[in-house]
C-alpha cells in the first residue's frame, strides 16, 4: 500500500472517529439531553395562599399573612458577605452558614430554604443587597386573630422527609398542616401549587419563561373553611379552664356540630408561627402539663358517675329495670367488696337515683344486665352490655373529621377472661356500673353521650367543619343519624333525672340558671394519679336542646366543684349571649387546683 | 505587460482555480460566522454586522481574509517560493518580539497589541513554517534519508515550537507535530512512525492499566511476537511459565517472611533478571531478533516509568486534563467542567439540533470559550448530529482535496506545501473537535474558519489560498507544455 493511500486512510479514519463519537453522544446517549435541561431549566414553585378559617359566625379563626422564604441554589452561589446577610435578616452568621451547608448537602442544583418566613420588611431590605444564588419566594403564614384553639386549629409546619417520600405532591420546604383542622382539611386548605418554568443562564440569572410559559401552571388558592366552632364561646371556655387541666366539648345535638373544643392547658397558636416556632415548640414539649396534648380527643378518662346514664338506659332497654323500680342504698352497695355511696334517701327509683347519683342503684342495674338469665352466662351478658355501650360511641373512634381521635376503652369479656383466667362474674366488674374500672372515654365521646341523651337516642357524628369553599356539602356521614341500641322512649326518665339533678336539689344545683331548663349529670371519677376528676354532662334546654356540653377537669374534686359551674356558664353564654353570674366566673377562675401529678415530673 | 497579465488573470480564474475547494472554504467560513453569531447572540445587538460584537468583528475579519485570499490568487506563484525563507524569518522575529512586548491573555503571552488590533503571531508562523519547510525539502540536494537534512528539518520546526513554548502556549506548539504527516509522505522512515504509535499507546496504557498488568502484557506480547517470528514456541512457553512461577514463589516467600513484597515489584525484578538467561539463549541459538525484542522490552519499561516521571513534572492543570480525558478523575466542577459542559451542549443537540439561535447551553454561557475554542459546541447543539456531520464532511473533503492538489503539483515545493496545509488543518480539526467531545485532552487551539479571531482566520485563509494558487499555477502551465 502506498504512502499516499495510507495518509488518505488516516484522514478518513480521523473523521470516522469523530463522527462515531458524535453519533454516540448526540444520538445514542440521552444523558446529555437530561443534563442540558437541568442546566437551563429552573422550576420555580408558585405557592398558593393557604385557605383561611372562619368560625360559625364568620369571625376569623385563622388568617393567612404574606411572608417570604429565602431560598438558595448552592451551585449558583458566589462568595458573599455572611455578616451583611446576618445583619439584614437578624440571625447569626453561624445559622446562615449551617443552613447553607445543609442545603448543599441536600442538592447543589435544587433550591432549598435557607431561612423561612421572612417578613415583608426583611424581604425588601434583602432585595436592596445582591446575593447571587439567593432568592425569595412568596409564601403565606398563619396568624390567629383570637389566639384561641391551639390544639383545635392545629399548626402548619415544614413538610417532613417521610411525608415527601409518601406523597409526591410535597417537596422539600413545602408547608403542611400538622395537627388539628390544619391537618384534617389539609387538602382543601393547601390549594394547588403552581409552577413557572424559567430558563436561566450559567449564573442562575433568569433569562425568561421556557417555551413562552407552555409548561407553567397557575397556583389555585386554598379553600376557605367555615368551622362549627363559636369563637366567642371557645375563648370563654379557654378562659374558664385557664390554670386547670381538662377539657370542654360542646356539641349542637341537632347537627353534631362542635361548638367548643377546649383542651387545657392550651397555648397561643401564634407562637407556632414564624422563625421562633422551633423554640416555642420545644418549650411546649417540655411543659409537664403537656399543652400540645389534645385532651378533648386523646385523653382517656374514667367517665365516673356520668356513665350511670348509659347503664340506666341499657337496663331499661333490657327490661331488667323500670323507671319506678326501687333499690335500697345503705351508704353504698354492700355485696362483695362493696361500693360506697353518700347518704341520701332510700330506697330510690331510677329517676331519683340519677338525680342523687346513687352508686348502689346502678350496681343493681348493672348486675341485672350482666346476670340476665336469658343470656345464660356472665360472659354472654357482658358481651351484650359491651355492644350497647359501643352503640353509644364509646370504645371506638367516632369517625369525626378531627384527626387524632382515640378509641378510648370499653373492656370486653375476653379481656376479663384473660385477666381473671376465666373466673370472674358481674361482681368482679361492678365498678363499671358507676363509670370506673377499665372504662376510658374521651371528652368528645362524653359530649357525644350528652348529645345522645339530648336527642333521646341518636347522634350525628361530631365535626368541627361546617362548610368548605367550593364544596356543596361535607362528607355524607355527617348528615346521618346514628341510633343507639336503646329506644327513644327509655330516655325520658333519664332526662327527668338529669333535670331534677339541676332543678330539684340534686347533685348539680350549682348549674341552675333560671329559664334555661338545664339538664345535667355530675361525675366524680376516682383515678390513680391524685384527687378525683370533676366531670359534668349536660344539655339545654330540656326540650329541643341546642347545646350539649361535657366538661372534664382533672383533679377537680367533685363534679359540682368545677365541671358543673363551667358547663352551666358555657350553656348560659351560648343560649343567652351573656353571663349573669360574674361571681361564679370569678369563683371558677380563682379555684386553685393542685396538679402535683404533672408538676412533679418537671424535676 | 499589462495585456499579458490580464490574459494570465483571465485564464487563472477560468480553469486553474479549484473552485470546489474555494466553495467549501467559503461555506465553512460562512457557517463559522453564523455559529459565532449564535454563540454570542444578544437580542440588544441583533445585527450580525454590529462590529461592537464578536460576530460583527468576525465579519470584518472575513472581509479582510477574502481580500487577502484574492491577493494571494493574483500574485505569481513563484513569489511564495522566493519569499518562503524571508517570511519565515520575519515571522520568527515577530514571534520572538512577542516574548518581549507581548501581553498575557489566559496565561499565554502570545498577543501583540497594535492599537485596537490584537495579533497572535503564532498563528501566522504555521503558514510561514509550511512555506519554509516546502522550500527546504524541495531543495535540489535535499534527501529525507540524510541525517543532516533531517536535522535541518528538526531545527526549522523546533525553533518556532520552542519560542511558542516559551510563551506558555503549549497547544499552539504541539501543532508543529502535525508536520510528521508531511514527512511521512516525503518518505521518512516508517519504523519511526510505528515506534511513535507504540510510544503513544504505551503512554495511554500506562494510565489506563495497573503497572503490574501492563508489565504482564509487555512480557506476553514480546514473547509472543518473538515466537511468531522464530517459531520457538516451546522455549517461549517455558520462559513465560518460568517467570510466572518464580514470581509467585518469591512473592509468597517474601510475604511469608514479612518483607512487604508487591506482586509488581517481584515481577519486575524477576523479568529483568530473566533477560540474562534470555540473552545467553539468543547467543547460543543465534536468534538475532530476540535481541531486538529484548531491547524493545527494556525500552518500553523505561518509557512507562519515564511517563510517570514526566507526568509528575507537568503542571497541575495539564495533569488534570489528561486524567480527565482517560476518565480516571471526574471532577465535573473543576478540571472536567469545561469538557462536561461542552459534551452536554453537543449531546443535547440530538440528531437534528435545536435550531439556529435556539441553543440554550451555548447561549446562556454554560459552555466556556464558546466563540473561540469551543465553537463546535454551537454547531453540535443547534444543528445536531446532521449539522456536525456536514461540517466534518466538508473538512474531510477539503483536506483530501488539498492532498490531491499536492499530488498534482509538478514541483516538490508545491506538494510539500499542500501536504503541510492538509496536516495543519487535520490536526486542528481533530484536536479541536476531539476535545469538545472528550476524545482529546483540552488543548486550546482554534477550529479552522469557525473559531472567532482575526489572526487564526487570516492565517488559515493564507495557508489555504496559497495551496489553491500553487495548484492553479500548475494547471496554467499544462496547456503551454
Query: pLDDT band at A252, cuts 50/70/90?
Result: very high
Query: pLDDT band at A18, cuts 50/70/90?
Result: very high
From the list B412, B399, B29, B342, the residue with the least C-alpha distance to B178 is: B399
**pLDDT at residue B440 above 80?**
yes
Give the β-pairing of A194-200 and A206-209.
antiparallel
pLDDT at B330: 60
Core vs surface per residue A394-415: b (16+ CB within 10 A) or e: bbebbebbbbbbbebbbbbbeb
Report the distance separating Cα A33 and Cα B374, nearest Å. 18
Query: Which position has the grid cell 381473671?
Result: A420
Domain assignment of residue A343, given as a range:
296-507
Return residues 197-216 of A near B (CB < 8 Å): 199-203, 207
A8:B181 CB<8 A: no
A21:B346 CB<8 A: no
Query: Per mean pLDDT, which range of B87-101, B287-301, B428-442 is the poorest?
Result: B287-301
Q: Is residue B89 part of a domain?
A: yes
Tell me what the pLDDT averaged over chain A comes to. Answer: 86
Domain ends where: B254, B286, B313? B313
* Contact residues, chain A, for B366 at CB < 8 Å: 39-40, 201-202
From the list A328, A373, A320, the residue with the least C-alpha distance to A352 is: A328
B385:A23 CB<8 A: yes
Query: pLDDT band at B10, cuts 50/70/90?
Result: very low
CA distance A205 to chain B (A): 9
**pLDDT at residue B479 above 60?**
no
With 0-12 / 13-18 / 19 or more C-beta atoms within 10 angstroms meaning exposed / middle / buried, residue A300 is middle
Q: Is residue B251 part of a domain?
A: yes
* Contact residues, chain B, for A6 at CB < 8 Å: 184
Q: Across A154-163, B378-387, B437-446, which has the greatest mean pLDDT?
A: B378-387
Q: Is residue A544 part of a domain?
A: no
Report the distance separating Cα B118 and Cα A534, nearest Å. 95
**pLDDT at residue A537 above 80?**
yes
pLDDT more than 70, % of chain B: 93
Are both A186 and A49 inside the same structural domain?
yes
| Cα radius of gyration rounded to whole Å, chain A | 32
- Please, are residues B96 and B110 in contact by the beta-carbon 8 Å criterion? no
Q: Is residue A356 part of a domain?
A: yes
Are both B54 and B157 inside the same structural domain?
yes
To test the contact with chain A by mutation, choose from B348, B361, B381, B397 the residue with the greatest count of A C-beta atoms within 10 A, namely: B348
- Please, are residues A77 and A133 in contact by the beta-carbon 8 Å criterion? yes
Are both A236 and A302 inside the same structural domain?
no
From the list B116, B22, B17, the residue with the least C-alpha distance to B66 is: B22
Domain ends where: A466, A489, A507? A507
B214 Cβ partners below 8 Å, 6+ apart?
B205, B206, B304
pLDDT at B335: 63
Report the distance separating Cα A312 and Cα A388, nearest Å. 11
DSSP A532: P
DSSP codes, A246-307: EEEEEEETTTTEEEEEEEES---GGGGSSTTHHHHHHHHHH-TT-TTS-HHHH--B--GGGG
Cell for B202? 504505551
CA of B425: which chain A residue's CA is closest?
A11
Are both A270 and A307 inside the same structural domain?
no
Q: Is residue A481 part of a domain?
A: yes
**pLDDT at residue B480 above 50?**
no
A13 inside 8 A of chain B by CB:
no
φ and ψ at residue A537, rounded to 5 degrees = -110, 130
Q: Is residue A197 part of a domain?
A: yes
Are both A413 and A272 inside the same structural domain?
no
The CA-based angle A543-A548-A552, given to 5 degrees, is: 145
B407:A4 CB<8 A: yes
Domains of chain B: total: 2
CA distance A98 to chain B (A): 22
DSSP B178: G
Furthest C-alpha separation in chain B: 96
Query: Per mean pLDDT, which range of A46-60, A208-222, B433-447 is the poorest?
Result: A208-222
Residues in chain B: 481
Are both A220 and A303 inside the same structural domain?
no
To test the contact with chain A by mutation, choose from B44, B193, B347, B430 the residue with the greatest count of A C-beta atoms within 10 A, namely: B347
pLDDT tens string B190-230: 888 888 888 888 888 887 778 888 888 888 888 888 888 88
Report the distance separating Cα B472 and Cα B164, nearest Å. 33
- Please, are residues B157 and B88 in contact by the beta-carbon 8 Å criterion? no
Domain assignment of residue B347, given as a range:
2-188+332-480
pLDDT at B333: 62
CA of B360: which chain A residue's CA is closest?
A40
A16 inside 8 A of chain B by CB:
no
A206-209, strands of its sheet edge to edge = A41-46, A194-200, A206-209
* Contact residues, chain A, for B434 at CB < 8 Å: 17-18, 21
Average of per-residue pLDDT across B100-129: 83
To test the contact with chain B by mutation, choose from A3, A20, A36, A75 the residue with the greatest count of B C-beta atoms within 10 A, namely: A36
Query: pLDDT band at B55, cuts 50/70/90?
Result: confident
Q: Which residue pairs, CB below 8 angstroms and at least 24 apart, start in A77-82?
A: A77/A132, A77/A133, A77/A134, A78/A132, A78/A133, A80/A131, A80/A132
Are both A389 and A423 inside the same structural domain?
yes
Under DSSP, is residue A482 helix (H, G, I), strand (E, B) or coil?
strand
Query: Dihedral sign, CA of B213, B215, B216, B217?
Result: positive
Tell me what the pLDDT averaged over chain B comes to. Answer: 86
Query: How many CB pairs below 8 Å do chains A and B form together?
Result: 112
Q: Is residue A496 part of a domain?
A: yes
From the list A240, A231, A290, the residue with the least C-alpha distance to A258 is: A231
Are both A351 and A495 inside the same structural domain?
yes
CA distance B167 to chain A (A): 29
Are both B151 and B255 inside the same structural domain?
no
pLDDT at A603: 46
* Contact residues, chain B, for A36 at CB < 8 Å: 344-345, 347-348, 360-361
Report the distance separating Cα A356 and Cα B234, nearest Å. 118
Q: Is residue A565 part of a domain?
A: no
pLDDT at B329: 60
CA of B434: which chain A residue's CA is closest?
A18
| Cα radius of gyration rounded to whole Å, chain B | 27
Nearest to B350 among A21, A27, A199 (CB): A27
pLDDT tens string B105-118: 777 778 888 777 78
Query: Dihedral sign, CA of B213, B216, B221, B224?
Result: negative
Cell for B169? 502556549
pLDDT at A548: 94
- Please, are residues A379 and A371 in contact by the beta-carbon 8 Å criterion? no
Domains of chain A: total: 2
pLDDT at B41: 79
With 0-12 / 13-18 / 19 or more C-beta atoms within 10 angstroms meaning exposed / middle / buried, residue A428 is middle
A107 inside 8 A of chain B by CB:
no
Nearest to B360 among A6, A11, A36 (CB): A36
Are both A187 and A304 inside the same structural domain?
no
Nearest to B361 among A22, A25, A36 (CB): A36
Q: Is residue B63 part of a domain?
A: yes
pLDDT at B4: 39
Under DSSP, is residue A226 helix (H, G, I), strand (E, B) or coil?
strand
**pLDDT at residue A460 above 80?**
yes
A5 inside 8 A of chain B by CB:
no
With 0-12 / 13-18 / 19 or more C-beta atoms within 10 angstroms meaning exposed / middle / buried, residue A379 is middle
**pLDDT at residue A206 above 80?**
no
Q: Is residue B327 part of a domain?
A: no
Q: Is residue B320 part of a domain?
A: no
CATH number at residue A162: 3.90.1310.10
pLDDT at A597: 76
pLDDT at A156: 87
Query: Which of left, alpha, beta for A564 (phi over 0: left; psi -120 to 50: alpha)?
Result: alpha
DSSP codes, A68-135: EEEEE-GGG-----HHHHHHHHTS-HHHHHHHHHHHHHH-SSS-EEEEEEE-HHHHHHHHHS--TTEE
Q: Is residue A275 part of a domain?
A: yes
Report the distance separating Cα A379 and Cα A416, nearest Å. 9
Under DSSP, is residue B438 helix (H, G, I), strand (E, B) or coil?
coil
Nearest to A11 among B343, B396, B433 (CB): B396
B132 inside 8 A of chain A by CB:
no
B437:A19 CB<8 A: no
Nearest to A33 among B348, B364, B439 (CB): B348
Q: Across A193-197, B24-28, B283-287, B303-307, which has the greatest mean pLDDT?
A: B24-28
B209 inside 8 A of chain A by CB:
no
Q: Which residue pairs, CB below 8 angstroms and at least 24 apart, start in B163-168?
A: B163/B92, B163/B95, B163/B96, B163/B99, B164/B95, B164/B110, B164/B122, B164/B125, B166/B99, B167/B95, B167/B98, B167/B99, B167/B102, B167/B108, B167/B109, B167/B110, B167/B122, B168/B107, B168/B108, B168/B109, B168/B110
pLDDT tens string A549-592: 999 998 888 877 788 889 999 999 998 988 888 888 888 888 87
To test the contact with chain A by mutation, choose from B183, B187, B332, B344 the residue with the greatest count of A C-beta atoms within 10 A, namely: B344
A26:B185 CB<8 A: no
Are both B87 and B176 inside the same structural domain?
yes
Query: pLDDT band at B477, cuts 50/70/90?
Result: very low
Domain ends where: B258, B279, B313? B313
Cell for A37? 435541561
Q: Is residue B27 part of a domain?
A: yes
Q: Is residue A363 part of a domain?
A: yes
Average of per-residue pLDDT across B433-438: 92
pLDDT tens string A315-332: 899 888 888 888 888 888
Report the distance separating Cα B450 and Cα B436, nearest Å. 14
Are both B128 and B220 inside the same structural domain?
no
* Contact residues, chain B, for A109 at CB < 8 Å: none
Query: Which position has the grid cell 436592596?
Result: A128
Furthest C-alpha separation in chain A: 132
pLDDT at A601: 65
Report the distance separating Cα A263 and Cα A550, nearest Å. 12
Are both A219 and A348 inside the same structural domain?
no
Q: Is residue B462 part of a domain?
A: yes
pLDDT at A214: 75
Cell for A102? 445543609
Report the distance separating Cα B92 and Cα B124, nearest Å. 9
Cell for B40? 454570542
Rounded to two decimals, the ipTM of the complex is 0.86
Average of per-residue pLDDT across A22-26: 92
With 0-12 / 13-18 / 19 or more C-beta atoms within 10 angstroms meaning exposed / middle / buried, residue A452 is buried
Are both A326 and A286 inside the same structural domain?
no
Query: pLDDT band at B481, cuts 50/70/90?
Result: very low
Nearest to A25 among B346, B365, B419 (CB): B346
- Please, are residues B48 and B56 in contact by the beta-carbon 8 Å criterion? yes
Are both B38 and B154 inside the same structural domain?
yes
Are both A367 and A471 inside the same structural domain?
yes
A40:B380 CB<8 A: no
A4 inside 8 A of chain B by CB:
yes
CATH number at residue A372: 3.40.710.10
Q: Across A257-266, A396-405, B46-55, which has the greatest mean pLDDT?
A: A257-266
Are both B411 and B342 inside the same structural domain?
yes
pLDDT at B332: 64
Are both B144 and B230 inside the same structural domain?
no
* Contact residues, chain A, for B438 at CB < 8 Å: 21, 25
Under DSSP, is residue A408 helix (H, G, I), strand (E, B) or coil?
coil
Query: pLDDT band at B50, cuts 50/70/90?
Result: confident
Are both B164 and B223 inside the same structural domain?
no
pLDDT at B164: 92
Are both A199 and A346 inside the same structural domain?
no
Q: Is residue B323 part of a domain?
A: no
**pLDDT at residue A291 above 50?**
yes
**pLDDT at residue A523 above 90?**
no
Domain ends where: A461, A485, A507? A507
Amino acid at each position: 500500500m502506498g504512502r499516499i493511500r495510507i495518509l488518505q486512510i488516516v484522514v478518513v479514519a480521523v473523521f470516522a472517529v469523530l463522527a462515531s463519537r458524535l453519533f454516540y453522544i448526540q444520538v445514542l446517549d440521552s444523558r446529555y439531553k437530561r443534563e442540558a435541561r437541568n442546566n437551563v431549566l429552573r422550576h420555580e414553585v408558585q405557592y398558593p395562599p393557604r385557605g383561611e378559617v372562619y368560625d360559625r359566625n364568620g369571625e376569623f379563626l385563622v388568617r393567612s399573612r404574606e411572608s417570604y422564604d429565602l431560598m438558595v441554589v448552592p451551585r449558583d452561589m458566589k462568595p458573599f458577605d455572611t455578616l451583611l446577610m446576618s445583619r439584614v435578616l437578624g440571625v447569626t452568621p453561624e445559622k446562615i452558614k449551617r443552613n447553607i451547608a445543609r442545603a448543599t448537602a441536600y442538592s447543589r442544583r435544587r433550591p432549598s430554604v435557607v431561612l423561612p418566613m421572612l417578613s415583608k420588611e426583611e424581604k425588601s431590605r434583602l432585595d436592596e443587597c445582591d446575593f447571587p444564588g439567593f432568592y425569595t419566594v412568596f409564601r403565606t403564614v398563619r396568624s390567629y386573630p383570637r389566639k384561641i384553639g391551639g390544639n383545635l386549629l392545629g399548626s402548619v409546619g415544614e413538610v417532613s422527609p417521610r411525608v415527601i417520600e409518601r406523597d409526591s405532591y410535597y417537596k422539600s420546604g413545602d408547608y403542611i398542616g400538622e395537627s388539628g383542622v390544619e391537618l384534617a382539611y389539609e387538602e382543601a386548605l393547601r390549594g394547588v401549587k403552581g409552577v413557572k418554568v424559567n430558563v436561566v443562564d450559567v449564573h442562575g440569572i433568569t433569562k425568561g419563561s421556557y417555551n413562552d410559559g407552555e409548561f407553567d401552571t397557575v397556583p389555585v388558592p386554598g379553600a376557605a373553611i367555615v368551622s362549627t366552632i363559636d369563637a366567642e364561646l371557645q375563648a370563654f371556655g379557654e378562659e374558664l379552664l385557664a390554670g386547670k387541666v381538662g377539657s370542654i366539648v360542646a356539641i349542637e345535638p341537632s347537627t353534631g356540630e362542635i361548638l367548643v373544643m377546649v383542651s387545657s392547658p392550651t397555648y397561643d397558636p401564634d407562637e407556632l408561627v414564624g422563625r421562633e416556632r422551633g423554640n416555642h415548640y420545644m418549650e411546649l414539649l417540655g411543659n409537664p402539663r403537656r399543652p400540645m396534648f389534645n385532651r378533648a380527643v386523646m385523653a382517656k378518662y374514667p367517665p365516673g358517675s356520668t356513665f350511670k346514664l348509659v347503664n340506666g338506659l341499657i337496663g331499661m332497654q333490657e327490661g331488667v329495670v323500670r323507671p319506678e323500680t326501687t333499690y335500697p342504698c345503705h351508704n353504698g352497695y354492700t355485696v362483695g367488696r362493696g361500693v360506697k355511696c353518700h347518704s341520701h334517701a332510700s330506697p330510690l327509683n331510677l329517676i331519683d337515683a340519677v338525680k342523687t347519683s346513687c352508686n348502689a342503684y346502678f350496681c343493681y342495674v348493672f348486675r341485672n344486665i350482666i346476670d340476665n338469665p336469658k343470656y345464660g352466662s356472665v360472659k354472654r351478658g357482658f358481651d351484650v352490655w359491651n355492644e350497647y355501650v359501643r352503640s353509644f360511641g364509646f370504645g371506638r373512634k367516632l369517625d369525626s373529621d378531627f384527626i387524632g381521635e382515640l378509641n378510648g376503652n370499653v373492656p370486653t369479656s375476653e379481656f376479663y377472661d384473660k385477666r381473671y383466667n376465666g373466673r370472674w362474674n358481674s361482681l368482679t366488674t361492678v365498678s363499671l356500673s358507676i363509670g370506673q374500672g377499665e372504662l376510658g372515654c374521651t371528652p368528645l365521646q362524653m359530649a357525644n353521650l350528652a348529645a345522645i341523651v339530648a336527642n333521646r337516642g341518636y347522634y350525628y357524628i361530631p365535626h368541627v367543619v361546617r362548610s368548605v369553599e367550593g364544596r356543596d356539602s361535607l362528607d355524607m356521614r355527617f348528615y346521618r343519624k346514628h341510633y343507639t341500641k336503646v329506644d327513644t322512649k327509655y330516655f325520658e326518665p333519664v332526662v327527668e333525672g338529669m333535670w331534677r339533678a339541676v332543678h330539684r336539689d340534686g347533685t348539680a344545683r350549682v348549674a341552675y340558671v333560671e329559664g334555661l331548663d338545664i339538664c345535667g349529670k355530675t361525675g366524680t371519677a376516682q383515678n390513680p394519679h391524685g384527687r378525683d376528676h370533676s366531670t359534668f354532662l349536660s344539655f339545654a334546654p330540656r326540650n329541643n336542646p341546642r347545646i350539649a356540653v361535657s366538661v372534664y377537669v382533672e383533679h377537680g374534686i367533685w363534679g359540682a366543684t368545677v365541671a358543673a359551674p363551667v358547663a352551666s356558664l358555657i350553656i348560659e353564654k351560648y343560649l343567652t349571649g351573656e353571663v349573669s353570674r360574674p361571681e361564679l366566673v370569678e369563683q371558677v377562675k380563682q379555684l386553685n387546683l393542685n396538679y402535683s401529678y404533672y408538676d412533679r415530673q418537671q424535676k | 505587460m499589462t495585456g499579458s497579465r490580464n490574459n494570465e488573470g483571465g485564464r487563472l480564474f477560468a480553469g486553474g482555480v479549484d473552485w470546489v475547494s474555494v466553495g467549501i472554504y467559503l461555506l465553512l467560513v460562512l457557517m463559522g460566522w453564523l455559529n459565532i453569531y449564535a454563540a454570542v447572540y444578544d437580542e440588544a445587538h441583533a445585527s450580525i454586522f454590529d462590529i461592537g460584537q464578536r460576530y460583527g468583528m468576525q465579519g470584518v475579519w472575513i472581509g479582510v481574509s477574502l481580500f487577502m485570499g484574492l491577493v494571494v490568487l493574483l500574485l505569481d506563484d513563484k513569489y511564495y517560493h522566493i519569499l518562503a525563507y524571508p517570511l519565515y524569518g520575519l515571522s520568527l522575529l515577530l514571534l520572538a518580539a512577542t516574548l518581549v512586548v507581548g501581553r498575557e491573555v489566559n496565561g499565554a503571552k502570545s498577543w501583540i497589541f497594535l492599537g485596537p488590533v490584537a495579533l497572535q503571531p503564532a498563528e501566522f508562523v504555521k503558514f510561514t513554517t509550511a512555506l519554509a519547510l516546502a522550500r527546504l525539502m524541495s531543495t535540489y540536494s535535499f534527501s529525507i534519508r540524510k541525517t543532516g537534512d533531517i536535522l535541518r528539518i528538526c531545527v526549522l520546526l523546533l525553533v518556532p515550537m520552542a519560542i511558542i513554548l516559551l510563551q506558555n502556549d503549549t497547544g499552539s506548539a504541539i501543532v508543529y507535530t502535525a508536520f510528521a504527516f508531511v514527512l511521512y509522505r516525503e518518505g521518512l522512515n516508517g519504523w519511526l512512525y510505528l515506534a511513535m504509535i507504540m510510544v503513544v499507546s504505551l503512554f495511554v496504557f500506562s494510565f489506563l492499566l495497573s503497572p503490574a498488568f501492563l508489565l504482564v502484557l509487555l512480557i506476553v506480547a514480546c514473547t509472543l511476537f518473538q515466537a511468531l517470528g522464530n517459531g520457538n514456541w516451546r522455549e517461549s512457553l517455558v520462559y513465560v511459565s518460568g517467570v510466572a512461577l518464580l514470581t509467585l514463589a518469591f512473592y509468597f516467600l517474601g510475604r511469608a517472611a514479612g518483607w512487604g513484597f508487591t506482586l509488581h515489584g517481584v515481577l519486575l525484578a524477576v523479568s529483568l533478571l530473566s533477560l540474562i538467561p534470555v540473552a545467553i539463549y539468543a547467543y547460543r541459538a543465534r536468534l538475532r531478533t530476540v535481541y531486538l525484542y529484548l531491547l524493545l522490552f527494556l525500552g518500553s519499561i523505561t518509557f512507562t516509568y519515564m511517563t510517570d516521571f514526566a507526568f509528575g513534572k507537568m503542571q497541575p492543570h495539564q495533569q488534570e486534563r489528561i486524567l480527565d480525558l482517560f476518565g480516571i478523575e471526574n471532577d465535573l466542577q473543576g478540571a472536567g467542567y469545561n469538557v462536561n459542559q461542552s459534551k452536554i451542549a453537543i449531546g443535547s443537540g440530538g440528531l437534528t439540533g435545536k435550531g439556529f439561535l435556539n441553543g440554550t447551553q451555548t447561549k446562556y454561557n454554560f459552555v466556556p470559550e464558546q466563540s473561540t475554542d469551543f465553537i463546535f459546541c454551537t454547531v453540535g447543539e443547534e444543528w445536531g448530529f446532521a449539522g456536525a456531520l456536514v461540517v466534518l464532511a466538508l473538512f474531510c473533503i477539503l483536506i483530501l482535496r488539498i492532498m490531491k492538489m499536492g499530488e498534482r503539483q509538478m514541483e516538490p515545493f508545491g506538494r510539500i506545501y499542500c501536504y503541510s496545509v492538509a496536516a495543519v488543518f487535520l490536526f486542528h480539526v481533530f484536536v479541536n473537535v476531539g476535545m469538545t467531545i472528550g476524545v482529546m485532552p483540552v488543548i486550546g487551539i482554534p477550529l479552522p474558519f469557525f473559531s472567532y479571531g482575526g489572526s487564526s482566520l487570516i492565517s488559515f485563509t493564507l495557508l489555504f489560498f496559497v495551496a489553491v494558487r500553487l495548484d492553479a499555477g500548475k494547471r496554467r502551465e499544462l496547456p503551454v507544455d
